[in-house]
Amino acid sequence: MTNRTVTVWIVAIVSFVVLMFVTPSIPQDQEYHDFADQRQFFGMPNALNVISNVPFFIIGVIGLVLCYYKNFFKLSLQGELCGWTFFYIGVAAVGFGSSYYHLEPNDARLVWDRLPMTIAFTSIIAIFIIERIDERKGTYSIIPLLLVGAVSILYWRFFDDLRPYALVQFVPCIAIPLMAIMLPPMYTHSSYWLWAAGFYLLAKVEEAIDDTIYEWTNHIVSGHTLKHLCAAMVPVFLTLMLAKRDIVAERISLLQVWKISWTKYKRNGVVTENETITYSTVPVEESRE
């Protein structure tokens, strides 16, 4: 382990300890379980919130199969297969865990909703480290990151404090878009990461205004149901990215690509503005009658 790696770990641990000391605990709000749409269909409680989790299971299974089907995703780095396997296992498990929770929302069942999500979040961070920072370190980080996610759930469940889980959920939401923009990718179609992040952000907004959306749609669909559908678009976009991408000839970050494009745009704009138009005089012969 290099000095730089040790320094990063020390800074991360110290920052976490300080954060736990200076911030108050965040207990689970029991009103969280009171969703806007609680309608029953065919005897199934909270039916739309349950059924809307099916896409997670479908895309999770599809992604898991394609990971091992003749290397369909062209995974070329050590640890990539392991990282994406855990990601798709987490996605598929969300379909079961979240459905189980929404059948009878309570803290005990919420564990099985959140645990699969931490598997997906932490495996994505490991994948980014493998692809864009260091292949070996990223591979070795998969299991520790998964354990961090699991511990954050156990800490919440036993101490009724959501702070570690909040870090596990929201740090990737900030880190992944930043890494997608700042760090040079090994593969093409890197912009799909930003589409995935955008859909996840939209999902969180819909979750926050669950009741409002339910009122806006005249009780047709709630914000939480739409949240599930938008969140399911995250693995959809990542699966499309994996299916379409190739290894790049020259590794250039999205930020650099945008800078180059902006420079070309400004240059073309200047050339266009500085163009002068000249008119030539055309002699006109008078007609003779």
The alpha carbons of the chain give a radius of gyration, in whole angstroms, of: 25
| SS3 state at 109 | helix
Specify whether the CB–CB gap between 36 and 173 falls below 8 A.
no
- Residue 66 CA, chain-centre distance (Å), reads 20
How far is it, in rounded angstroms, from Cα 240 to Cα 76?
Answer: 17
The pLDDT assigned to 241 comes to 95
The verdict on residue 15 lying in a domain is: no
The verdict on residue 23 lying in a domain is: no
The verdict on residue 240 lying in a domain is: yes
The verdict on residue 82 lying in a domain is: yes
Residue 118: CB atoms within 10 A of its CB come to: 23
The verdict on residue 22 lying in a domain is: no
How far is it, in rounded angstroms, from Cα 123 to Cα 70?
Answer: 22
Per-residue pLDDT of the chain (289 residues; tens, 9 = 90+): 566 666 766 777 787 788 788 888 899 999 999 999 999 998 999 999 999 999 999 999 999 999 999 889 988 887 999 999 999 999 999 999 999 999 999 999 999 999 999 999 999 999 999 998 888 889 999 999 999 999 999 999 999 999 999 988 888 888 888 888 888 888 988 899 999 999 999 999 999 999 999 999 999 999 999 999 999 999 999 999 999 999 888 888 888 888 888 888 888 765 444 444 444 454 545 544 4
How far is it, in rounded angstroms, from Cα 196 to Cα 201?
Answer: 9
Considering its fold, how many domains does the chain have in total? 1
Beta bridge partner(s), residue 187? 247
The verdict on residue 283 lying in a domain is: no
Per-position DSSP letters for 179-208, written without gaps between them: HHHHSPPSBS-TTHHHHHHHHHHHHHHHHH
102 is in an annotated binding site: yes
The pLDDT assigned to 21 comes to 82
The pLDDT assigned to 59 comes to 97
The verdict on residue 248 lying in a domain is: yes
The pLDDT assigned to 249 comes to 82
Cα→Cα distances 100→86, 97, 108, 161, 181, Å: 20, 5, 11, 22, 36
The pLDDT assigned to 287 comes to 45
CATH number of the domain where residue 149 is located: 1.20.1070
CA geometry: angle 191, 195, 200, nearest 5 deg:
140
Alpha helices (H) in 42-160, listed in sequence order: 47-51, 54-68, 80-103, 107-128, 135-159
The pLDDT assigned to 93 comes to 97
Domain extent at residue 137? 28-272
How far is it, in rounded angstroms, from Cα 217 to Cα 225?
Answer: 12
How far is it, in rounded angstroms, from Cα 275 to Cα 289?
Answer: 43
The verdict on residue 39 lying in a domain is: yes
- Residue 36: which residues within 8 A CB-CB, separation 6 or more? 210, 211, 213, 214, 222, 223, 224
Report the chain's terminal Cα–Cα distance, integer Å.
100
Q: Which long-range contacts (CB under 8 A, 24 or more apart) does 167-170 make?
A: 167/16, 167/19, 168/118, 168/121, 168/122, 169/117, 169/118, 169/121
pTM for this model (two decimals): 0.86
